[in-house]
Amino acid sequence: MGVEAELRERMEVTAARFPQRLSAIIPILYLVQQQYGHVTTEGMELAAEVLGTTPAFIDSVASFYTMLYRQPVGKYVLQVCRTLPCALMGAEEVVACLQEKLGIQPGETTPDQLFTLATVECLAACHVAPLMMVNEVYKVHLDPAKLDAIIDECKHGTTPHSDAIY
Amino acid sequence: MEQLRILTQSIEQPESWTLRTPQAQGGYEAASKAIKEYPPDELIELIKKSGLRGRGGAGFPTGMKWSFVPKNLPKPTYLVCNADESEPGTFKDRLLIERTPHQIIAGMIIASHALRVRTAFIYIRGEMILGARRLQEAIDEAYAEGCLGKNLLGSGMDLDIILFVGAGAYICGEETALLESLEGKRGQPRLKPPFPATVGLYGCPTVINNVETLCNLPHIVANGADWYTAMGTEKSPGPRLFSVSGHVKRRGVYELPMGVPLGELIFEYAGGIRDGHRFKAVIPGGSSVPVLGERHLDVRMDFESLQQAGSLLGSAGVIVMDETTCMVSAALNLLHFYWHESCGKCTPCREGTGWFVKTLHRIEGGHGRLEDLDLLLDVSDNIKGKTFCPFGDAAVTPVESMLRLFRDDFEQHIVKRRCVSAA
């Protein structure tokens, strides 16, 4: 089965889980993102077909949510929490340190497509601040030495282990 | 100094997220008891008698919320567990989700019995990767062991639970925005009334309860309403999970009776302010409630006492700040949050939060004018009470309350063109 046919089938299964199929938009866009790295135009067109709506409507939903990427992102997306409880514990220094190490500003991707740097709002783990997510992994109690180690790991192609939050 | 161990009873145990823990077993026993011993209406009466109030932020009485659902409609009634914990400074639902997912499921069975629900949802925020995995594993385990699905616990009751993973939007914690999101739309709040109890998910009656609220239910059913009201205060009974963050020695979640004095929470349980520094300010209920100062440290942490002191209990997220914290920069930080998270539906909120950010940024950078303080309050007046949902009122709160209590920080920034807080 081709990639698209397989994706369509997984979309169908997901849509069938809900009392009304349109409820499956977000889960289905996550499938697109897993497949292509971001929410592509083709992926949205396919989702629209499966759900019986228009690509424009799908896009209007996709563009509302920060975890659905409408543009390509780096292999490692670093999302640093910037909200007050983290700011009190030095989140600004963490962002500044990453900017210097990676040579990019928040919202940008390195030219080698390895890292995307982003600041995000409260990640609901303020007791282990400052913290960030590296893709789906949490790294907490950040300091410059720890950031060095995380960047090195990523550069060697290994995804860091998730720190315990509780 | 002892903490309560009710909702957090088994969180220290290894693999506390599996069905084999005493807490999980106790939860399903309570669910079984609720179905066998309480007809739905009597169960609603029990929860009313317990005085349980919502733990998400608003503190609305849970039993009363349930009783608004119309009876004998041909439509299904839905239950949604709000696990979209996003209020800055709040991280207690994450603890319950990651460590005791079966306690949540047991609470949902009890609520579903009272409300005659056959399909329930859990809406979890997308960033809670481990939490979503643990919840899905717990749901699968519950089905496999006969605790969910058809004839659950041998009771004759059927219940399905569907886990829904959000995709990053603070506003989806607001219950009508959550429903829009669950229906596959942009997460923008609906105008109320009609309230979700009558017109909710797919136009059907719907009850939305917070994770911590639902976790209280098995304990109330197991131990009775009198046991429950013996904890906390008369109007705010029961245990509460306080999330303490910021400049304290021991940040974390503390389970204590409602009404614990704020000073005791900060200086005894959380170990006080970090070494070499002194207390300056505290936001006692998540970023959307007014800031308090030193003279408020005796206030008790319950809904009524905090309201009398000029703040709110909210989500019980306690953000502590020492003397190095500049209130201009704290206000700017929080307004950046509200500006970023405004859903954009109502003009006063969408535009006003941007004005806040620009004006505060100017003051912070040493380019402010004294008239800017009046401008901030003017913008505030143009947002308050003029939006569909409580987000607008929440956004003006840091600005108004920080200006009221710490006006000097703002004036110094403008007059001396720099920050005078020692960093």
Q: Is the pLDDT of residue B369 over 80?
A: yes
Nearest to B67 by CA among B100, B45, B96: B45
Q: Is B146 exposed, middle or buried (0-12, 13-18, 19+ CB in 10 A)?
A: middle
Same domain for B360 and B223, yes or no, is: no
From CA B122, how far away is CA B165, in angstroms rounded? 8
Buried/exposed A75-84: b ≥16 CB within 10 Å, e otherwise: bbbbbbbbbb
Q: How far is CA A93 from the centre of its chain?
A: 22
From CA B2, how far away is CA B238, in angstroms rounded? 16
pLDDT digits (tens, 9 = 90+) for B257-301: 999 999 999 999 999 999 999 999 999 999 999 999 999 999 999
Nearest neighbour of B167 by CB, restricted to A68, A121, A162 = A68
Q: What are phi and psi of B149, to 5 degrees?
A: 95, -150
* Domain limit, last residue, from B279, B307, B322: B322
Residue A129: per-residue pLDDT? 98
Per CB distance under 8 Å, which residues of A are interface residues toward B? 17-20, 22-27, 29-30, 51, 60-61, 64-68, 82-85, 87-89, 120-129, 133, 136-138, 162, 165-166
Q: Is the pLDDT of residue B44 over 90?
A: yes
Count CB neighbours of B255 within 10 A.
Answer: 18
Question: What residues of B are in contact with residue A26 (Cβ under 8 Å)?
Answer: 164-167, 181, 184
Angle at A30 between CA A24 and CA A36, to 5 degrees: 135
**Is B37 a member of any domain?**
yes
* Domain limit, last residue, from B267, B302, B322: B322
Same domain for B134 and B248, yes or no, is: no
Q: Is the pLDDT of residue B251 over 60?
A: yes
Whether A64 sits inside 8 A of B169 (CB atoms) is yes
pLDDT bucket at B420, cuts 50 / 70 / 90: confident
Whether A83 sits inside 8 A of B333 (CB atoms) is yes
CA dihedral A165, B5, B213, B223 (to 10 degrees): 160
Residue B418: per-residue pLDDT? 83
| Phi-psi category of residue B40: left, alpha or beta, with phi > 0 → left and psi -120 to 50 → alpha | alpha
Residues paired with B318 in a beta bridge: B244
Determine the structural domain holding residue B41 and report its residue range.
22-229
- Residue B105's contacts (CB-CB under 8 Å, 6 or more residues apart) are B27, B138, B139, B142, B147, B148, B161
Q: How far lies B105's CA from each of B172, B207, B220, in Å?
A: 21, 15, 15
Nearest neighbour of A61 by CB, restricted to B87, B184, B247 = B184
Same domain for B78 and B100, yes or no, is: yes
Same domain for B101 and B166, yes or no, is: yes
Q: Report pTM.
A: 0.97
Same domain for B336 and B316, yes or no, is: no
**Is B136 a member of any domain?**
yes
Helices (H), B248-293: 262-264
Q: Is the pLDDT of residue B66 over 90?
A: yes
Same domain for B215 and B195, yes or no, is: yes
- Chain A closest-CA separation from residue B35 CA (Å): 25
Q: Is the pLDDT of residue B376 over 70?
A: yes
Same domain for B293 and B332, yes or no, is: no
Same domain for B174 and B85, yes or no, is: yes
Residue B83: per-residue pLDDT? 98
Residue B422: per-residue pLDDT? 58
Number of domains in chain B: 3
Q: Is the pLDDT of residue B414 over 90?
A: yes
Beta carbons of B252 and A127 less than 8 angstroms apart: yes
Residue B419: per-residue pLDDT? 84
Same domain for B215 and B86, yes or no, is: yes
- Chain A closest-CA separation from residue B298 CA (Å): 23
Give the CATH number for residue B279. Answer: 3.10.20.600
pLDDT digits (tens, 9 = 90+) for B67-102: 999 988 899 999 999 999 999 999 999 999 999 999
Q: Is the pLDDT of residue B1 over 80?
A: no
Whether B127 sits inside 8 A of A133 (CB atoms) is yes
**Is B17 a member of any domain?**
no
Can you tell me which residue has the tokens 């399909």? B119
Both tokens of residue B277? Answer: 């520094």
From CA A43, how far away is CA B211, in angstroms rounded? 34
Question: What residues of B are in contact with residue A47 (Cβ under 8 Å)?
Answer: none
Can you tell me which residue has the tokens 């004018």? B369
Question: What residues of B are in contact with residue A129 (Cβ under 8 Å)?
Answer: 245, 251
**Is B392 a member of any domain?**
yes
Is the previous residue joined to B189 through a cis bond, with omega within 30 degrees of 0?
A: no
Average pLDDT, chain B: 96
Whether A64 sits inside 8 A of B187 (CB atoms) is yes
Please give the domain boundaries of chain A with CATH numbers for all domains.
Answer: 3-62 (1.10.10), 76-155 (3.40.30.10)
- Percent above pLDDT 70 for chain B: 99
Same domain for B208 and B110, yes or no, is: yes
Question: What residues of B are in contact with residue A51 (Cβ under 8 Å)?
Answer: 184
- Percent above pLDDT 90 for chain B: 96
Question: What residues of A are in contact with residue B317 (Cβ under 8 Å)?
Answer: 126
* Domain limit, last residue, from B211, B229, B247: B229
3-class SS at A24?
helix
Angle between helix B347-364 and B327-341 (nearest 10): 150
Both tokens of residue B371? Answer: 């008239």
Q: pLDDT tens string for chain A (166 positions)?
A: 788 999 999 999 999 999 999 999 999 999 999 999 999 999 999 999 999 999 999 999 999 999 999 999 999 999 999 999 999 999 999 999 999 999 999 999 999 999 999 999 999 999 999 999 999 999 999 999 999 999 999 999 998 999 999 9
Residue B371: per-residue pLDDT? 97
pLDDT bucket at B22, cuts 50 / 70 / 90: confident
Residue B385: per-residue pLDDT? 94
From CA A39, how far away is CA B385, in angstroms rounded? 37
Is the previous residue joined to B101 through a cis bond, with omega within 30 degrees of 0?
A: no
- Chain B closest-CA separation from residue A51 CA (Å): 10
Same domain for B177 and B257, yes or no, is: no
